[in-house]
Amino acid sequence: MNKPSPNISQPSPVIRQLDEGAVNRIAAGEVVERPASAVKELVENALDAGAGRIEVAVADGGKTLIQVSDDGCGMAPDQLPLALARHATSKIDGSDLLNIHSFGFRGEALPSLGAVGRLTITSRATGHEAGTITVAGGQMGRVTPAALNAGTVVELRDLFYATPARLKFMRSDRAEAQAIADTVKRLAMAEPHVGFTLRDVSGGGEARITFRADPESGDLFDALHGRLARILGVEFADNALRIEAMREGLRMTGYAALPTYSRGSSVAQYLFVNGRPVRDKMLYGALRAAYQDVLSRDRHPAAALFIDCDPVLVDVNVHPAKSEVRFRDPGLARGLIVSGLRHALAEAGHRASSTVAGATLGAFRPEPQGARVYQMDRQSPQARSLAYQAQSPGFAEMAADWSARVEPESQTPEPEEVSATTLPLGAARAQIHENYIVAQTETGMVIVDQHAAHERLVYERLKHQMAENGITAQALLIPEIVDLSETDCALLADHAEDLGTLGLVVEPFGAGSIAVRETPAILGEVNAQALLRDILDELHDQGASDTLKSRIDAILSRVACHGSVRSGRRMSAEEMNALLREMERTPHSGQCNHGRPTYVELPLSDIERLFGRT
């Protein structure tokens, strides 16, 4: 290929002003990525209008129809053309782009949708007649009278018909419909006092309701708890901890699940900033860090957390879709999530997820019952009593060889044993397979994994001792010099004090080098270069690093595992009861160091149901 000679002058490129239609289509490519993005923008507009009920109808995954109806304040007919103009909005006056209290504020959504689809807006404000306006491919029609009682109905047909190339990148109707449902559910979590309905009207037949959430009543936490039970399920609501924490102008509320109610992926993690659903990497990293001591790496926590603050402390104008935010002090927000969640998990004490008991009961397979036994065929109480007495000699002989009971054989129980059954984990009654403690509670029974439980107790004890006495550092005979970029060196220098509290002492060593003078003694021989690079990766990715602390915790966990009661060891009644009492006093004792449950609680009513006694 011949290149043009540099000695021959070339015509200069001409700068042109793009027409308004092209500008709107370019903007639509940023704001409206897929049908779910259009639903998000329209539902947020309805929420900003003060709607109490919002209905969304979609067809073919939103590709052919998206209709959003609300009972909000509506718009006057003369305002409709202005609503379709770029950068026209009623939510801000443009004087302060930080003090934003609404979902939308740019005035880009409606003109962008009108540029790539066929958009019709019908609205009626109090004291005005209803009006409707249509815009297709950027061409706006006239305002005409319409019939509408109140609120606004926005209908978007043939999304991306004006930009056919975008249609080629759409996923299947089912995948797009699922994305729309996820968007509506996230917004429904943010507004529990607002009713939401999602319908699928594909094929022109009778609409099928795919999601419905009626307005919740009560205060903030009661309404949110009810809404989360509707969206995430009753099991999440039953096994979630109420979260409420504050720090320097930031307030965090919401619900976070117990570690034993974990998921195989991060699909059940929902974060909101000033009521706005966000997908922020730093916040998700903080959520993960809060659970790192009670979950294994392949499990993920479930939570719905809301961070509220003065709008000037957070910038929501970072991403065109407003899905990311930037805090003025990111470390403050991260610390609030980590400390708030860890405090709530510690207060939960020995509590474990109720789903563990449900899974245990489901594992029992009662034998198929024969013919129905009617009341007239049942033995009378007197007959059963005589039968038991006749059988008692045989049972007494078996007890000598097979019974695993641990309390004394005296007929009158000791007073402390009677009272022990009223405690949360009850009184030890047996040990089976030299690994599982069976305890009797006031309302049922508890089965404890003695090794897993003692492992957590020892681990918490070691962490407490380390927190009191500090982490012992070992000085290197010859400091290890690690060559890094000047940016990385400056970043490590900023966090040198925090690293020092964990036993890693670093200091600048000329331009582009860091000297490692001390390392945590508990880690033994350390590859300082690899450790620093792992820490830097986390600092760049999340703004903070838990690599060093997690390595230290892993060592403590390994020590606790080897120093705990081993499976196969027979324990006396006193030892088992002492273990139960310590579990009740120790935070996180409901799960072992890897997030598995340490005990299962079975209510007596469920046990009786297994045997058909109800």
Lowest-pLDDT choice from 94-108, 244-258, 436-450, 572-586: 94-108
Q: How far is CA 23 from the centre of its chain?
A: 38
* pLDDT beyond 70 at 29: no
**Which neighbouring-strand residues pair with 447?**
438, 600
% of the chain exceeding 90 in pLDDT:
20
pLDDT at 408: 54
Average pLDDT of the chain to the nearest whole number: 80
Q: How far is CA 584 from the centre of its chain?
A: 27
**Which neighbouring-strand residues pair with 327?**
314
In the chain, what is the greatest distance between 2 CA atoms, to the nearest angstrom?
118
d(CA 373, CA 375) in angstroms, rounded, equals 7
pLDDT at 319: 66
* pLDDT beyond 70 at 255: yes
Which residue intervals of 312-406 are DSSP H helices?
330-347, 354-363, 381-402
Lowest-pLDDT choice from 26-35, 61-70, 440-449: 26-35
| 106: DSSP letter | S
Nearest to 311 by CA among 119, 455, 508, 96: 96
- Report the interhelical angle of 450-469 vs 573-585 (nearest 10°): 50
Higher pLDDT, 377 or 551: 551
Amino acid at 512: G
d(CA 268, CA 258) in angstroms, rounded, equals 13
pLDDT at 400: 43
Q: Residue 481 is inside which H or E element, if any? A: strand 473-483
Amino acid at 594: H
d(CA 372, CA 250) in angstroms, rounded, equals 62
d(CA 383, CA 373) in angstroms, rounded, equals 16
pLDDT at 470: 77
CB 268, CB 233: distance < 8 Å = no
Per DSSP, the three-state class of 396 is helix
| 247: DSSP letter | E
How crowded is residue 444: how many other Cβ atoms within 10 Å of its Cβ? 17
N residues, the chain: 614
CB 270, CB 305: distance < 8 Å = yes
Q: For 105-218, where are the E strands, in sequence order?
A: 118-124, 131-136, 139-140, 144-145, 151-157, 195-200, 208-213
Compute the average pLDDT of residues 587-609: 82
d(CA 450, CA 568) in angstroms, rounded, equals 10
- Domains in the chain, ordered, with CATH? 20-213 (3.30.565.10), 220-348 (3.30.230.10), 415-614 (3.30.1540.20)
Compute the average pLDDT of residues 32-40: 87
Long-range Cβ contacts of 129-134 (<8 Å, 24+ apart): 129/77, 130/77, 131/75, 131/76, 131/77, 131/80, 132/80, 133/80, 133/81, 133/84
Residue 376 has which token pair? 């007239």
Compute the average pLDDT of residues 450-463: 85
CB 426, CB 439: distance < 8 Å = yes
d(CA 245, CA 243) in angstroms, rounded, equals 7
Compute the average pLDDT of residues 218-244: 91
pLDDT tens-digit map of 492-530? 888 888 888 888 888 888 888 889 888 888 777 878 888
Per DSSP, the three-state class of 535 is helix
pLDDT at 304: 94
How sure is the predictor about 374, in pLDDT bands with cuts at 50, 70 and 90? very low
pLDDT at 397: 46
d(CA 608, CA 614) in angstroms, rounded, equals 6
* pLDDT beyond 80 at 465: no
Cβ neighbors of 12 (< 8 A, separation 6 or more) are none
d(CA 380, CA 382) in angstroms, rounded, equals 5
SS3 content of the chain, % helix, strand, coil (to 5): 40, 20, 40
Residue 421: CA count within 13 A, CB half-sphere: 14
CB 170, CB 160: distance < 8 Å = yes
Compute the Cα dihedral for 321, 325, 326, 328 and give only its sign: positive
Residue 240 has which token pair? 């979630």
Q: How far is CA 96 from the centre of its chain?
A: 32
How sure is the predictor about 198, in pLDDT bands with cuts at 50, 70 and 90? very high
d(CA 400, CA 382) in angstroms, rounded, equals 28
pLDDT at 600: 87
Per DSSP, the three-state class of 520 is strand
pLDDT at 395: 43
Q: Left, alpha or beta for 550 (phi > 0: left; psi -120 to 50: alpha)?
A: alpha
d(CA 94, CA 81) in angstroms, rounded, equals 20
Compute the average pLDDT of residues 89-111: 64
Q: pTM of whole model > 0.75? A: no
pLDDT at 95: 57
